[in-house]
């Protein structure tokens, strides 16, 4: 196997492993609670109307004077459409072929669960346990999509298990810390598209002598763990006003698994049912929240989150069987940019049993606009093709997004309450120009024509 083939194969795996999240910037997931969804997650690290605050701020367990549990489920229904052309540059001069490459609704729907426990120890100390997800989702192109060698099926699942402890000072200021155990599981499949346009050429005995349609370019399955931490603080300024701050440290999970390919040459190809690993540089975040209740009926919440996507600069893989020349193997300069999320929400307390909430958020994307000049120059130097290449890809069609949300809580009795939330998210259409040379030089030139999602969430809260 030549080094160029190895590089692009691993690159496809790494990009796929961090596929489009649930319509959040980059591939970050916001969906930690139903009540938070109704507020567009404004001041989600501050309000603490149920135990789900523990996902955002470990100091939140200090708000509860009895054992409290919360559990919920969010259904994410994203809809991303792309439209464009794919050009194959065949092995024989004059065999360049361009075909349409459109795909509708290729971001797969998903269920995102969460569960929380907040528990007092005494008047000063409390502890908590949170289980939720930080990153991931799934994209799935039809096998007939002409660019399946670039992006076909990708899936990333993460689960965060987060025990925490908090200390309360004079029932006014509380601080907290948690240890975060992240499990990540990734699957990637890339294939030659069915009815491959250049099959008549490759089937010629003088070229390859067999069909390539539907052949597996790469199949990767891997998982791994990482440990991180969170610090947080809450300031109860008055009975009606509070502020919060929390910092989540970065993750660097190392995914280890199996790699195989129908196209890997034998003998002893590194991607012929062998093992490999790569490390994902997942970002740290800083979140600020402010909440104020004006009277018995109205309250306002404002939130800000900064995500340090600058950590996601490049992808490097380690393939033990590939030899020292490939370890580490620089795959691509991803060059994500850090971004901010701004959110504002209102709550209306209809009576003692019913609360109505609504919110708006603006979420800056992590993918850079413009062109990857370095990759353009490399393609030009190795193939003679002068092709514009965007930072934004089919697997991560990231863009700035806006959220409109609504929700509510029904207080069944002093102990039991039920939350529900709904959100509509939309983003701008963006240009995507992407290239691979496996199995032949393939160039996608198009972009997104729809980027939107509906989110539905429900949760149950119980105070013992």
CA distance 453 to 65: 38
- Alpha-carbon distance values, 187 to 110, 252, 384, 453 (Å): 15, 18, 34, 23
- The string over 108-131, giving b where at least 16 C-beta atoms fall within 10 Å of a residue's C-beta and e elsewhere, is bebebebbbbbbbeeeeebbbbbb
CA distance 237 to 213: 65
Model pLDDT, residue 182: 94
pTM given for the model: 0.88
Let me know: does 365 contact 385? Beta carbons within 8 Å. no
Model pLDDT, residue 323: 65
Q: What angle do CA 20, 24, 25 make, to 5 degrees?
A: 85
Assign 334 to helix, strand or coil.
coil
- Alpha-carbon distance values, 464 to 69, 120, 409, 416 (Å): 8, 12, 18, 9
CA distance 301 to 394: 35
Model pLDDT, residue 324: 67
Let me know: does 406 contact 457? Beta carbons within 8 Å. no
Instruction: List 307's β-bridge partners, or say none.
Output: 285, 339
Model pLDDT, residue 178: 98
Domains of the chain, first to last = 3-463 (2.40.160.60)
Q: Closest Cα partner for 398 from 19, 32, 8?
A: 19
Let me know: does 192 contact 150? Beta carbons within 8 Å. no
Q: Provide the residue count of the chain.
A: 464
Render each residue's pLDDT in the chain as its tens digit; 464 residues.
444 444 444 444 433 333 344 445 556 788 899 999 999 999 999 999 999 999 999 999 999 999 999 999 999 998 999 999 999 988 877 788 999 999 998 888 888 899 999 999 999 999 999 999 888 767 788 888 999 888 887 777 889 999 999 999 989 999 999 999 999 887 777 888 988 888 888 888 877 788 888 888 777 778 899 999 999 999 999 999 999 999 999 998 888 887 777 875 544 455 667 777 877 788 899 999 999 999 889 999 999 999 998 877 776 667 777 666 656 665 556 778 899 999 999 999 999 999 999 999 999 988 888 998 888 998 999 888 999 999 888 877 888 999 999 999 999 999 999 999 999 999 999 999 999 887 788 999 999 999 999 999 999 999 99
Model pLDDT, residue 17: 37
Let me know: does 303 contact 33? Beta carbons within 8 Å. no
């Amino acid at each position: 196997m030549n080094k160029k083939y190895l590089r692009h194969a691993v690159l496809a795996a790494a990009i796929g492993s961090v596929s489009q999240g649930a319509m959040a910037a980059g591939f970050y997931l916001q969906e930690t609670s139903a009540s938070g969804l109704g507020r567009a997650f404004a001041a989600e690290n501050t309000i603490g109307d149920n135990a789900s605050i523990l996902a955002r701020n470990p100091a939140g367990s200090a708000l509860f004077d009895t054992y409290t549990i919360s559990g919920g489920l969010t259904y994410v229904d994203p809809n991303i459409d792309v439209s464009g052309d794919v050009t194959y540059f065949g092995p024989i001069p004059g065999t360049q072929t361009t075909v349409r490459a459109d795909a509708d609704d290729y971001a797969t729907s998903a269920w995102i669960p969460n569960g929380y426990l907040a528990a007092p120890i005494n008047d000063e100390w409390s502890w908590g346990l949170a289980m939720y997800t930080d990153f991931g989702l799934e994209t799935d192109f039809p096998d007939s999509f002409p660019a399946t060698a670039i992006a076909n099926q990708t899936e990333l699942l993460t689960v965060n298990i987060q025990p925490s402890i908090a200390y309360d000072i004079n029932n006014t200021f509380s601080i907290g810390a948690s240890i975060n155990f992240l499990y990540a599981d990734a699957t990637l499949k890339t294939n030659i598209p069915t009815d491959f346009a250049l099959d008549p050429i490759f089937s010629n005995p003088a070229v390859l002598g067999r069909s390539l349609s539907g052949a597996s370019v790469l199949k990767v399955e891997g998982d791994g763990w990482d440990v991180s931490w969170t610090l947080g603080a809450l300031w109860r300024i008055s009975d009606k006003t509070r502020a919060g701050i929390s910092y989540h440290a970065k993750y660097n999970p190392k995914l280890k698994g199996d790699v195989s390919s129908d196209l890997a040459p034998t003998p002893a190809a590194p991607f012929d049912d062998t093992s490999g690993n790569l490390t994902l540089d997942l970002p740290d975040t800083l979140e600020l929240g402010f909440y104020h209740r004006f009277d018995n009926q109205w309250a306002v919440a404002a939130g800000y989150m900064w995500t340090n996507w600058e950590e996601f600069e490049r992808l490097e893989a380690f393939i033990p069987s590939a030899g020292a020349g490939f370890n580490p193997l620089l795959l691509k300069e991803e060059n994500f940019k850090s971004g901010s999320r701004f959110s504002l929400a209102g709550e209306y307390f209809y009576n003692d049993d019913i609360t109505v909430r609504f919110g708006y958020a603006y979420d800056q994307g992590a993918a850079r606009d413009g062109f990857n000049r370095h990759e353009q120059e490399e393609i030009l130097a190795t193939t003679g093709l002068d092709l514009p290449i965007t930072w934004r890809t089919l697997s991560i069609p990231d863009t700035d997004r806006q959220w409109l949300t609504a929700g509510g809580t029904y207080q069944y009795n002093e102990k039991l309450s039920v939350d529900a939330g709904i959100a509509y998210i939309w983003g701008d259409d963006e240009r995507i120009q992407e290239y691979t040379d496996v199995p032949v030089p393939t160039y996608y030139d198009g972009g997104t024509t729809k980027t939107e999602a509906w989110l539905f969430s429900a949760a149950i809260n119980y105070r013992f």
